[in-house]
Amino acid sequence: MSFSRQSKEEILKTNIEDDAAGIAFMSGLFHSCGQISKMNNKIYVKIVSDVEKLFDFCQKLIKKLYGDEISAEVGENYSINKNTYYEIAFDVDKNKQLLLDTGIIDIVDGQPSFNFELDKNLVLEDEARRCFIKGVYIGSSTSSIKLSQDTAQSCGSGYHMEFVSQSHQFLLDFSSILAEYNIIGKIFERKNSFVLYIKDVETIQDLLAVMGANKCVLDLSNEIVTRELRNKINRQVNCMNANINKTVEASMKQVEAINTIINTVGLESLSEDLQEVAVLRLANQEESLDELLKLSTIKLTRSGLNHRFRKLIKIAKTLEE
């Protein structure tokens, strides 16, 4: 299960007890994933979502708010890009009150008129604001976040979350609500829609906490630690590999120089101190300088040993000329 789906399902496990908060939640849903049309003086309303559990949640919430006056039913489902989307439809003859309550329509000259801006009276209280955010999150949020335990190998997806809407004004209103919880995003235009996006992982955690998705906050914290640890290990491994390559390259040059001396003037032409390090290197071609020092019978510092190898290389170059 994706992190985005996991967080939405966690949110749907919470109960909304306050009626005003329930209305705010439905308003967030309608604004973010609602499809509303008018035909023959009737208004048709449905919600389209890829979260299957949303239907049971909406059905329970609508019954709490309106009793048997308004009901929800599952419509058709269809697939796009391997994702299945579900339609939740509401009573054609009885949903006018629901749309009025959620601020989706106004009555102008006795006729319903669509309202694409947020009715700020719905989000005056903290609980209502949080539930409105929940509705918008479930209805229109997408995320690039992938948890490491969900993949067979390391995950480099980064941390990115966005909300997509056809209404620029709605996203401005929504971003102002998020800003009250110090959750700051940026808005840009993409083709025929607008996008509010958040890329800072701590801000994403704050958003999840506001909505009560506490398990996902912990999962994301663990993911941050896991990625930091993995990156640290990768840096250490890369450093070790670089040192190994450096050691091997240096050893090859030293062995090559010693062989040149052997094939031209012989090791006996060297001083005793140079003969010793030459024999030591030939017998331990894969060892680092530190390991050679441990194997040496004479007292040398690392720089002293390295100095003697440089002298051998210099002698070999002179002989080659």
pLDDT digits (tens, 9 = 90+) for 59-85: 899 888 888 766 666 666 656 666 777
Q: Which pLDDT does position 184 carry in this prediction? A: 93
Does 141 have pLDDT greater than 70?
Answer: yes
Lowest mean pLDDT among 148-157, 177-186, 299-308, 312-321: 148-157
Band of pLDDT at residue 152, cut at 50, 70 and 90:
very low
Does residue 190 share a domain with residue 262?
no
Q: Which pLDDT does position 72 carry in this prediction? A: 65
Tell me, yes or no, whether 77 lies in a domain: yes
Higher pLDDT residue, 195 or 234?
Answer: 195
The domain tally of the chain equals 2
SS (H, E, C) the chain: CCHHHHHHHHHHCCCCCCHHHHHHHHHHHHHHHEEEEEECCEEEEEEEECCCCHHHHHHHHHHHHHCCCCCEEEEEEEEECCEEEEEEEECCCCCHHHHHHCCCEEEECCEEEECCCCCHHHHCCHHHHHHHHHHHHHHHEEECCCCHHHCCCCCCCCCCEEEEECCHHHHHHHHHHHHCCCCCCEEEEECCEEEEEECCHHHHHHHHHHCCCHHHHHHHHHHHHHHHHHHHHHHHHHHHHHHHHHHHHHHHHHHHHHHHHHHHCCHHHCCHHHHHHHHHHHHCCCCCHHHHHHHCCCCCCHHHHHHHHHHHHHHHHHHHC
Tell me, yes or no, whether 302 lies in a domain: yes
Does 179 have pLDDT greater than 90?
Answer: yes
Does residue 255 share a domain with residue 178?
no
Does residue 182 share a domain with residue 37?
yes
Does residue 280 share a domain with residue 191?
no
Does residue 205 share a domain with residue 264?
no
Does residue 286 share a domain with residue 187?
no
Q: Which of 167, 184, 212 is the last residue of a domain?
A: 212
Q: Which pLDDT does position 210 carry in this prediction? A: 94
Rounded to the nearest 10°, the torsion over CA 298, 302, 308, 314 is 170
Q: Could you give the CA distance from residue 80 to residue 62 in angstroms, rounded to a whole number?
A: 28
Q: Which pLDDT does position 78 carry in this prediction? A: 59
Band of pLDDT at residue 134, cut at 50, 70 and 90:
very high
pLDDT above 90 covers a percentage of the chain that reads 27
Does residue 92 share a domain with residue 42?
yes
Tell me, yes or no, whether 57 lies in a domain: yes
Does residue 166 share a domain with residue 61?
yes
Tell me, yes or no, whether 262 lies in a domain: yes
> Per mean pLDDT, which of 80-94, 169-183, 264-278 is the most reliable?
169-183
Does residue 277 share a domain with residue 192?
no
Tell me, yes or no, whether 227 lies in a domain: no
Tell me, yes or no, whether 193 lies in a domain: yes
Q: What is the per-residue pLDDT across 218-258, written as a single tens digit (0 to 9) for each?
A: 988 888 888 888 878 888 888 888 878 888 888 888 888 88
Q: What is the per-residue pLDDT across 10-64, written as a single tens digit (0 to 9) for each?
A: 999 988 989 999 999 999 999 998 888 777 777 778 888 888 888 889 889 988 8
Q: Could you give the CA distance from residue 12 to residue 155 in angstroms, rounded to a whole number?
A: 27
Does 150 have pLDDT greater than 60?
Answer: no
Q: Which pLDDT does position 80 carry in this prediction? A: 62
Strand 161-165 with 72-80, pairing:
unpaired
Instruction: Give the residue numbers spanning the domain of 271.
Output: 248-320
Q: Which pLDDT does position 151 carry in this prediction? A: 45
The mean pLDDT value for 76-95 works out to: 72
Does residue 204 share a domain with residue 256?
no
Does 95 have pLDDT greater than 50?
Answer: yes
Does residue 177 share a domain with residue 277?
no
Q: Which of 196, 212, 228 is the last residue of a domain?
A: 212
Strand 111-114 with 141-143, pairing:
unpaired
Q: Which pLDDT does position 206 carry in this prediction? A: 93
Looking up residue 11, the CATH number of its domain turns out to be: 3.10.28.10
Does residue 175 share a domain with residue 291?
no
- Nearest to residue 11, comparing CAs of 294, 249, 209, 222? 209
Q: Could you give the CA distance from residue 255 to residue 91 in angstroms, rounded to a whole number?
A: 87
Does 110 have pLDDT greater than 50?
Answer: yes
Tell me, yes or no, whether 154 lies in a domain: yes
Tell me, yes or no, whether 239 lies in a domain: no
Q: Which of 212, 229, 260 is the last residue of a domain?
A: 212
- Inter-helix orientation angle 302-320/214-264, to 10°: 50
> Per mean pLDDT, which of 90-99, 247-256, 290-299 is the most reliable?
247-256
Mean pLDDT score of the chain: 84
Q: What are the two backbone dihedrals, phi and then psi, of residue 265, each rounded to the nearest 5 degrees?
A: -115, -10
> Per mean pLDDT, which of 99-103, 175-179, 198-202, 228-232 is the most reliable?
175-179
